[in-house]
Amino acid sequence: MFTLVLHSHLPWLANHGRWPVGEEWLYQSWAASYQPVFAALRRLAADGFTNQLSLGITPVLAAQLDDPHCLTSMYEWLADWQLRGAEAAISREDTGSTARPTSSINELGTREYRAAAAALSDFEKHWRHGGSALIRSMVDSGTIELLGGPLAHPFAPLLDPRLRDFSLREGLYDAEARFSTRPQGIWAPECAYAPGMESDYEAAGVRHFMVDGPALHGDTSLGRTVGTSDVVAFGRDLQVSYRVWSPKSGYPGHSAYRDFHTYDHQFGLKPARVTGRTVSGADKKPYEPARAQAALQGHVDDFITSVRDRLISESERIGRPAHVVAAFDTELFGHWWHEGPQWLEAVLRALPEAGITVGTLQTARDEGYVGNPVELSESSWGSGKDWRVWNGPVVDDLVQINAEVVSAALATVQKRRDQQPVRDHVSDQILRETLMTLSSDWPFMVSKETAADYARNRLYTHAHATREICDAADRGRESVAAQLAAQWNRADNLFPGLDARRLTFLDAVDRP
């Protein structure tokens, strides 16, 4: 059996800047990845395809896909894209005394205008009132298995066990409220694991989760129950996954595909193909859709062959039918790799024709693709397959701030719980801001030097909010604490279902 797993996630971006980092990131990903990927899933569903992939939707992304501000701004962004395409389509080259058509930019503008028009129509029909109904329809049709995750995407192994348990349970509650289904599987943020976390999963009702291949020492041909639990860890097969994308290579780097990094700065469009790894942006060749389509078919065929060969060799090695899991960020398909959604749909249609059984992680578990129990060590899918990206020397200061924020937040919330064991919106907001501080995105961006200043500013902002509310509450300034909590809540307007009363303090020392 072959399983495709996609992890859909962006940090909370609404009202936290627009360009070069901020809401633009959300709208680009929405238009380039989420819209075409779900359009492909709808076509597959209409043609009777079921159990096509396990799709992770993080609570923080789901919140943005439902947020009224984001929905309105996304609609405006699509209209702006169409306008930019129209301007490029009728652009004229100024030669001093005359103006003449500029064929390459005119062709690009025409393509972009049509693409934006199609995206606007799709958005109006399927997304205009939020993403939850669309995602739920894919779950209800049996096309996908929904994977959940903890609120705000924290790096769970570094969390206080009480907060780790709370964020996971709240994330599962959030998914159930949005999609009317409680996920049985999760994609843990960054595929991060620490010994004992399977106990948290089992207690929360999670039956399976993802790890990276090296966590299972490369033996990913079957899922494995972890320790003495009944929770199954499925490992990403790097040999197959790296055919698509790896730190050094993969299909999206082919010379014929559209280049992600090169912009026409007059209209904000992407006019070039990759051309070559060492070719500068100014020297890249114009994008040619027909050339890209020819490359695409070759990469579909190559992937099908790779999956089939891997299944055969692994089945022979273990003496029973094997399971291969390929896993990626959803945003690779479309946002980073323009042709990715087309490739994705073509692969899912071609796999059964090649005699390959396709199923979800849930399908694999139910049909017995599970081997002997295993003890897992610390791991992630980050650099070095360890935790260095999130607690290495580059982010020591962020780790220290996180520890201080968590300590203050838990102390304040526990004190308030002892005083008034009723719904407390101040405690709710303290935990919201704490979890936003702990997002794994901020240390990742700093470690990878991608918009590091933005990431630090975001962490500092949420840490300040947490401390400010805690300080007022601890000083007994109840009206000030309530006012601050309401103002910070209004600033982001997310996770209304979070309830601090579900934070468990008993036996915290004894938890894994």
Q: How many CA atoms lie within 13 A of 437 on its CB side?
A: 30
Through-space distance between the first and last CA atoms of the chain, rounded to whole angstroms: 34
What distance in Å separates the CA atoms of residue 93 and residue 85, rounded to the nearest whole number?
Answer: 16
| No. of helices (H) and no. of strands (E), the chain | 18, 11
Is position 329 annotated as part of the catalytic site?
Answer: yes
Measured CA to CA in angstroms, residue 28 lies from 73, 74, 124 at distances of 12, 9, 17
Measured CA to CA in angstroms, residue 150 lies from 59, 77, 399, 436 at distances of 7, 29, 19, 11
What distance in Å separates the CA atoms of residue 154 and residue 156, rounded to the nearest whole number?
Answer: 5
Is position 314 annotated as part of the catalytic site?
Answer: no
What distance in Å separates the CA atoms of residue 300 and residue 295, rounded to the nearest whole number?
Answer: 9
Rg, the chain, Cα only: 24
Phi, psi of 423 (to 5 degrees): -55, 125
Enumerate residues 6+ apart whose C-beta is below 8 A from 249. Answer: 242
* 72 exposure class (CB count in 10 Å sphere: 0-12, 13-18, 19+): exposed
- Please identify which of the residues 165, 190, 259, 428 carries the catalytic annotation: 190
Q: Which helix (H) or strand (E) holds 352?
A: helix 340-353
Strand pairing class (324-329; 2-8): parallel
On whether the CB atoms of residues 229 and 204 are closer than 8 A, the answer is no
Which of 16, 206, 37 shows the shortest CA–CA distance to 131? 37
DSSP E strands, 108-250: 144-148, 185-186, 208-211, 223-226, 232-235
At residue 494, the 3 state secondary structure works out as coil
- Please identify which of the residues 66, 329, 386, 404 carries the catalytic annotation: 329
| Residues assigned a catalytic role | 190, 329
